[in-house]
């Protein structure tokens, strides 16, 4: 699609938090927070001519590689939140995008994300085929205190679940949606700490896609004020998560 007349390099979008997006305490789920951030990024890409539909003309799609989320104060049911996003850097096959969430003028969360261009036929990364010079880049505007990071693997951990990727886990790119990995791991966290708002930041690394019927093992452990999880298929890690608790 052509670049929209409404396109701007810094984009904002409002969302109303509904009850389906909340935990029993009425606060926004961390998974739904990630969904809203990524949906806003998707709308921005669409306005700028870099949507999934645009990229599929070249058998390409954006896939998330790393994501850090810092939570200041989770919004609650019926809140109107504003998500703001811009691009730090976009070159070759990669893009670094920043996102922030506000309730009114109050920032409640920030995220730094790393995306890769993925060929949906070869299932390999490749350079972006579409022009992007109309997106102004803002390398000095930071949305998080710490940037996204590589999550350490190989720490002491125990097996906490074995599962099979099902149809409900898949997205339009025909692989397990990235938020599903987070959801699977958060189901094994300390529920009381999570519902009390104790989770203040988390880093996610996506290393290998999972498809329908894939069998995976989830391992996890704790160290001081952090929890860590790995999702592996056989001997190959597919996802790593580190949670930072208050």
Question: Both 13 and 114 in a single domain?
Answer: yes
CA angle, 191 as apex, 197 and 40 as ends, to 5°? 55
pLDDT given at position 188: 96
pLDDT of residue 1: 64
Which of 205-243 are b and which e, b meaning 16 or more Cβ less than 10 Å from the residue's Cβ?
bbbebbeeebebebbbeeeeebbbbbbbbeeebbbbbbb
Mean pLDDT of 197-204: 96
Output the domain CATH number for residue 14: 3.10.129.10
Q: What is the model's pTM? A: 0.94
User: Mean pLDDT for the chain?
Assistant: 95
* Domain end residue (candidates: 118, 148, 178): 148
Query: Which pLDDT band holds residue 217 (cuts at 50, 70, 90)?
Result: very high
The Cα 234–Cα 172 span in angstroms is 25
* Residue 224 pLDDT: 86
- Residue pLDDT, tens place only, 142-195: 999 999 999 999 999 999 999 999 999 999 889 999 999 999 999 999 999 999
**pLDDT for the residue 173:** 85
Q: Residue ranges of the alpha helices (H) in 112-245?
A: 178-186, 191-195
- What token pair was written down for 238? 């597919």
Question: pLDDT value at position 7?
Answer: 96
Helix H or strand E encompassing 108: strand 106-119
**Residue 245 lies in domain:** 150-246
Among residues 104, 129, 148, which one ends one of the domains?
A: 148
pLDDT > 80? residue 132: yes
Q: Do 29 and 22 contact (CB within 8 A), yes or no?
A: yes
Bridge pairing between strands 236-245 and 226-233: antiparallel
Let me know whether 107 and 155 are in one domain. no
Q: What is the pLDDT of residues 47-59, one digit of tens each?
A: 999 989 999 999 9
pLDDT (tens digit, 9 = 90+) per residue, 1-25? 689 999 999 999 999 999 999 999 9
Count of domains observed in the chain: 2
């Amino acid at each position: 699609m052509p670049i929209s007349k409404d396109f701007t390099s810094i984009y904002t979008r409002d969302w109303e938090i509904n009850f389906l997006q909340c935990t029993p305490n009425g606060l926004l789920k961390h998974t739904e927070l990630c969904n809203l951030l990524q949906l806003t990024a998707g709308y921005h890409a669409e306005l700028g001519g870099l949507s999934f539909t645009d990229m599929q003309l070249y058998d390409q799609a954006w896939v998330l590689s790393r994501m850090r989320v810092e939570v200041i104060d989770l919004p609650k049911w019926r809140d109107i939140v504003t998500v703001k996003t811009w691009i730090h850097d976009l070159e070759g096959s990669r893009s670094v995008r920043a996102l922030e969430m506000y309730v009114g003028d109050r920032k409640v969360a920030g995220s730094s994300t790393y995306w890769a261009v993925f060929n949906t036929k070869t299932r390999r990364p490749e350079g972006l085929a579409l022009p992007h010079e109309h997106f102004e880049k803002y390398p000095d505007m930071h949305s998080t205190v710490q940037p996204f990071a590589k999550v350490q693997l190989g720490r002491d951990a125990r097996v906490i679940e074995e599962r099979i990727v099902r149809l409900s886990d898949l997205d339009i790119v025909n692989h397990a949606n990235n938020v599903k990995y987070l959801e699977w791991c958060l189901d094994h966290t300390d529920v009381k700490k999570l519902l009390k708002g104790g989770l203040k930041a988390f880093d996610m690394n996506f290393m290998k896609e999972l498809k329908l019927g894939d069998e995976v093992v989830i391992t996890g452990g704790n160290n001081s004020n952090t929890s860590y999880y790995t999702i592996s298929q056989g001997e190959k890690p597919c996802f790593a998560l580190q949670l930072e608790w208050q």
